[in-house]
Structure 1
Amino acid sequence: MEKELITGKLKKIDSSVSSIEEKYKECKNALDKLKTSSKLDLSQGKTSLDILSGRIKETQEMIEEFKTNLKEAIKLLQQMAATTELSQVQRKVDKWQPENLLTMEMLESMLEEL
């Protein structure tokens, strides 16, 4: 179950990265249009700035979503690591426990013999 959650988060992160890269290209194109305009027509310049501003806002939202997905993926990975660590400790305890019981039985029998 946890692996599916991680896989889902990683897919969302990958998708976010692709979207951010696409928005970056759109912002760069809008900025290039502003730079290459030999005559800066005020209305055309304003339109290009509005487009650029919109793309930047969309990119910021995508970056926030990316950060959220990344934080959630990190939390899931930490939970998985804690679960794995707990399982390892439990296995060690399970291994040790029969030996401990044997030792206790041996001590009890020794005490009875005294």
Structure 2
Amino acid sequence: LGVLLLWRLYQRGRVQGTPLLKHEYGKPLTHCIFRLPPPGEDLVQLAKAAVSGDEKALDMFNWKKSSSGSLLKMGSQEGLSFFVSLMDGTVHYVDEKGKTTQVVSADSAIQMLFYMEK
């Protein structure tokens, strides 16, 4: 009861064996909302590496010659952070490193979570 587990998915949607993250909150979870990294963030870092001469990064941009055998991915699960609400009215933020922090406490259960960028 009240356990949050997070797994990494392989390219074809298969779950990796062991969870990346496990948090025991002790209360039932009611909602979870994800805060995705800005689009293209990973692509920018990859482009910087390619300009710096990183052969692996250069190969990923060259669709004819991909030594790694993988195509350039436009999105990533790296840097994923999210909010979780519990039945007791608390909301917790889980950062990119898996650290959880209580950010809000209400008198009753949270009815809905909604995330808006500034």
Q: Give the TM-score band, short-chain normalised.
A: under 0.3
Question: Greater RCO between the two (CA within 8 Å, min separation 6)?
Answer: 1
Between Structure 1 and Structure 2, which shows a larger proportion of strand residues?
Answer: 2
TM-score, structure 2 normalization: 0.23
TM-score, structure 1 normalization: 0.23
Q: Tell which structure's C-alpha radius of gyration is larger.
A: 1
